[in-house]
């Protein structure tokens, strides 16, 4: 697992290095009153990144294949991650309290089923609590409720 990851990672880092070099060359090279422009630093770093990723690629080829341990728990992770993405997307349209409440409820139940009452109480306490302390007491600003 680690070996394959390192190989892909080295290629991605190489591409990032190339990308930064190519894009740096498009930056207007002149810098007022100085012959050291804004492109030198990223270009130098890009070259360094390319060299390092080549080194990583070679190291990844040499290293032994590792046997992966227990298979990660993708199912629960994906549900929670998807819930987090929805949370972020819906935060402004639906408001803070509703989205936070739903996200927490889903999160609690996905990690361990059961105890609905406790989950609902904690999720409600957190979402209302944070909203009213932040907006009411600290005069902060959060998206409220859908109008």
18 binds other proteins per the rule CB under 8 A? no
130 binds other proteins per the rule CB under 8 A? yes
The residue (of 69 and 147) whose beta carbon lies closer to other proteins is 69
55 binds other proteins per the rule CB under 8 A? yes
Question: Phi/psi class of residue 112: alpha, beta or left (left: φ > 0; alpha: ψ in -120 to 50)?
Answer: beta
DSSP calls for 72-129: P-HHHHHHHHHHHHHHHHHHHHH-HHHHHHHHHHHHHHHHS---HHHHHHHHHHHHHH
Per the structure block, which two tokens stand in for 141?
């600003």
Report the DSSP beta bridge partners of residue 34. Answer: 31
- Member of 22, 88, 145, 146 binding other proteins (CB under 8 A): 88
List contacts with other proteins (CB under 8 A): 2, 5-6, 9, 13, 16, 20, 23-24, 27-28, 31-38, 40-42, 45-46, 48-49, 52-53, 55-56, 59, 70, 72-74, 76-77, 80-81, 84-85, 87-89, 91-92, 96, 100, 103-104, 106-108, 111-112, 122, 126-127, 130, 134, 138-142
């Amino acid at each position: 697992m680690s070996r394959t990851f390192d190989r892909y990672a080295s290629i991605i880092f190489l591409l990032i290095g190339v990308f930064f070099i190519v894009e740096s060359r498009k930056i207007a090279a002149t810098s007022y009153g100085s012959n050291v422009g804004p492109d030198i630093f990223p270009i130098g770093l890009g070259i360094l990144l390319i060299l390092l990723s080549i080194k990583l690629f070679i190291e990844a080829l040499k290293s032994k294949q590792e046997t992966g341990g227990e298979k990660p728990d993708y199912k629960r992770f994906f549900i929670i991650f998807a819930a987090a993405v929805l949370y972020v997307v819906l935060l402004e349209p639906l408001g803070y309290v509703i989205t936070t409440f739903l996200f927490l409820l889903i999160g609690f139940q996905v990690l361990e089923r059961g105890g609905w009452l406790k989950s609902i109480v904690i999720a409600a306490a957190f979402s209302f609590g944070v909203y009213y302390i932040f907006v009411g007491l600290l005069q902060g600003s959060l998206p409220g409720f859908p109008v």
